[in-house]
Structure 1
Amino acid sequence: MSSSRMSAEEIDWTSPQPPPGAPPEPPGPRRERRIGSLEVLAALLILLVVFRGPLAGLVSGARLQTWTTVFVSVLVQAVPFLVFGVVLSAIIAVYVPRSFWARALPKKPVLAVPAASMAGVVLPGCECGSVPIAGSLIRRGVAPAAAFAFLLAAPAINPIVLTATAVAFPGRPEMVVARGVASLIVAVLIGWLWLRLGKTEWIKLPHQPDLEGASKAKAFWSACLHDIMHAGGFLVVGAAAAATINVIVPEEWLQRLAENPVLSIIALAVLAVLLSICSEADAFVAASLSQFSLTSRLVFLVVGPMIDLKLIAMQTGMFGRRFVLRFAPVTFLTCVLVATGIGVVFL
């Protein structure tokens, strides 16, 4: 009896596969490869180059230019770290054995959560890269609570982000300490909360091709291509939403909100979600909002790397809508409460 598995080279991923145990279909003519998202993206890029002149005239308006600038800046900030996260995710999926995580993390999930949170200190990346990494960790057998703790902590407490915060707030080391402490507390709390209330059926990871039997190099490349095309599309959606909000929200509203201590905290928390700024750059934006209190700006710095429009879009693509509908509101509320408390104590 022939083996039920086929090598990655033998499977045509563009065609529907028969269910396990089904009799083999009679041989027939090989189907042609369908046009996929990669070909569509390449065609769009070619059209943009060919018609760059007419398109440039279409974006001559001030508001449309602002939208285009914000959209491109979000992508430019996020794409390098997304690629870094995808590559690291593929390395974890292909080259790191499952037994490694059993040795690296404590066996008890309640202890694995803070350990995974602290792992973010040694990984210089932003929130875009942490999403595919967290998905890969779950696939490799890491407890979802620990993976989500890493997802939240890594973009906020790594050395690059904390150094950028120190540069943006010269003479105020308490801002650096407050941001690191508040972000770490939120990550651990959300991880523990998932242990208590989370359900595995809320997570729906996207299907990845079974590459068993393929070479490691081919499996690595296939995993990279799958994640970059899947997460990249949601990143574009999030960037477009953030650009739209930047154009719609009047600056006068922010000035009025800054005068009220409570509303200023809520306003900057919501603004962090809407602007979707990369965690390596958000400290400079927070420093420029000088009309707001330090506590409200700390809330901005804690919320942004953990929950924003592009993250909501990317997490929907990676973990499913049911997960995001529960994870996003709880994370947002926890960030606001913890950051406000830490701000009152440290600032």
Structure 2
Amino acid sequence: MMQWLNELWFLTLEAAPWLLLGLVIAALIKAFSDRLAIARYLSGESTGAVVRASLIGAPLPLCSCGVVPAVLGLRSAGAGNAPSMAFLVATPETGPDSISVSYGLLGPVYAIARPIAAIIGAIATGLVSGRFGGTTPAAGTVSSDASGDSCCSGETSTSCCESTPAQASEGCCETKPDETSGDCCGSEAPAVPRTGERLAHGFNYAFGQVLIDIVPWMVFGLAIAATAVVLIPEGFFDQPWGIVGSYLLMAVIGVPMYVCATASTPIAAGLLVAGMSPGAALVFLLAGPATNIGTLGILRQHFGTRRIGLYLASVIASALIAGITLDLLWRQFDWALPESAPAGHAMAGDWLAMGALTVLVIATLSAYWRRHRKNQTPEEGACGCSEDRDGSQ
């Protein structure tokens, strides 16, 4: 038990500074991103739109559940089906927080290979979907706006000023035509938020909703990693079945499992210490965050069974190819895991790690307290319409 607690403590110290850095970057991205502008870049079914969707989605701080309302909102705003599929893969597989934690726990090779593999896999998924996906139901009114970035939340956020009327609404958000501009849904264009307001919104989001979404799964991932280090015997993955079997095992475990990109990183670190090949760990890092059973039903309703089947097949195939490629390169160039990986425990007494962990703990407690207060006293707008969950403009 003491060995497990020690491993958990050291892993937590390793991850804390990089998670904090990733959240800061996520806040800046949130502060200065524009959903409608993104949707314009993703219109059509061209290869260029698929590539743009992959590049735009990769740095966004959304998990496999949070990306669903985002991609449905983008699709309702005019994004094509193929770019939407690419966005659906690239966004949860990587992000600023997961890249930072990857660098800290797994080293620079993973910090580079992971986003590259995610982008290439997303492009492949989008192209396959566009070529073989057939026809899908027309994009109609979606249940979640792209700004509803909650991770694994079934709640929907409905703006009273949406461009398409909601089917069931009340107050000033009623669907009946109303030409008056005296309420909050008037025709006047909203004032462009100042830089300070954008930054405040971005940091409130990153150290609020994103942190709340990440923390439970990050704790879970760290616990699993510590367990793997303690329980899996050295040389376990060196068996004859180990290399090929570990690829398939990671894909089978990762696809139905919900684990965000950041939380999957310490799990992969623990598996590497236990002897798993770097490529097999990469399979898990790609397949795990990209999919989960809970969201497939929603996606099937909007994109059709064939396209979602192609999406799953492409995610698995691209993850396996990326894993095999990484193992080949790893042996070719004789790369090594960083000394600061879990076995090294190099940062145990580092004041920077302790300071970052303290900031994260305080920010987490504050975020949960704010959510509790908000649930106790729901905020409403001037005419009864509540602002969306993350407060996006």
State TM-score, norm by structure 1.
Answer: 0.54
Matches within 5 A, 1:243-322: 259=239, 260-289=242-271, 290-316=274-300, 319-322=303-306
Report the identity percentage. Answer: 24
Secondary structure of 2:61 counterpart? coil
Report the CA distance between 1:177 and its aligned residue. 0.9
Deviations 1:199-243 (A, max 9, x none): 23267877653447477769xxxxxxxxxxxxxxxxxxxx9xxxx
Pick aligned residue for 1:164 from 101, 119, 135: 101
**Contact 1:203 1:322 (8 Å CA) reproduced:** no
Which residue is equivalent to 2:85?
A: 148
Q: CA deviation at 1:193?
A: 1.3
The answer to whether the Cα contact below 8 Å between 1:190 and 1:331 also exists between their aligned partners in 2 is yes
| Cα distance in 2 for residues equivalent to 1:103 and 1:206 | 18
Counterparts of 1:102 and 1:328 in 2: how far apart (Å)? 23
2:353 corresponds to 1:333: no
Within the alignment, does 1:180 sit opposite 2:115 as a pair? Answer: yes
- 1:202–1:297 CA distance, 2 compared to 1 (3 A): farther
Q: What CA distance in whole angstroms lies between the structure 2 residues aligned with 1:102 and 1:281?
A: 29
**In structure 2, what is the equivalent of residue 233 of structure 1?**
none
Alignment of 1:129 with 2:63, yes or no, is no
RMSD of aligned alpha carbons: 4.0
Letter in 1 for 2:124: L
Give distance in 2, aligned partners of 1:205 and 1:106. Answer: 15
AA partner of residue 288 (structure 1): G
Give CA deviations for 1:85-138 in whole Å, capped at 9, x if unaligned. xxx9xx98xxx66xx457535767210111111112442222211111111111
**Distance in structure 2 (CA, Å) of the matches to 1:118 and 1:141:** 18
TM-superposed CA distance for 1:313, in Å, is: 4.6
Cα distance in 2, alignment partners of residues 284 and 173 from structure 1:
15
Moved more, 253-262 or 126-135: 253-262
Distance 1:184 1:156, change over 3 A: same
CA contact (8 A) 2:296 2:308 kept: yes
Amino acid at match of 1:273: V
Letter paired with 2:265: A
Against the structure 1 CA distance between its residues 301 and 116, is the aligned structure 2 distance closer, same or farther, given a 3 Å change threshold? same
In structure 2, which of residues 98, 122, 129 is the aligned counterpart of residue 194 of structure 1? 129
C-alpha distance 124-200 of structure 1, shift in aligned 2 (>3 A) = same
Q: What secondary structure sits across from 1:124 in the alignment? A: coil
**TM superposition shift of 1:297:** 0.4
Equivalent pair of 2:255/2:288 in contact (CA under 8 Å)? yes
Letter of the 2:263 counterpart:
A
Residues 140, 267 of structure 1: alpha-carbon distance in 2 compared, 3 angstrom cutoff: same
Tell me, in whole angstroms, the C-alpha distance in 1 between the residues paired with 2:100 and 2:295: 23
CA contact (8 A) 2:72 2:142 kept: no
In structure 2, the CA distance between the partners of 1:195 and 1:274, relative to structure 1 (3 Å rule), is: closer
Q: CA distance change for structure 1 residues 205 and 297 in 2, over 3 Å: closer, same or farther?
A: farther
> Which structure carries more helix by proportion?
1
Quick one: which amino acid aligns to residue 338 of structure 1? A
SS at match of 2:262: coil
Give the unaligned 5+ runs of structure 1. Answer: 1-83, 219-238, 240-245
Q: Matches of residues 184-223 of structure 1 in structure 2 within 5 Å?
A: 184-201=119-136, 209-210=166-167, 211=175, 213=177
Change (3 A) 1:268 1:253: farther
Alpha-carbon separation, structure 2, partners of 1:312 and 1:254? 37
Contact kept? 2:254, 2:287, Cα under 8 Å? yes
Contact 1:155–1:161 (CA<8 Å) still a contact in 2?
no
Size of the aligned set, in residue pairs, is 226
Displaced runs of 4 or more, over 2 A:
100-108, 200-218, 251-259, 307-327, 342-347
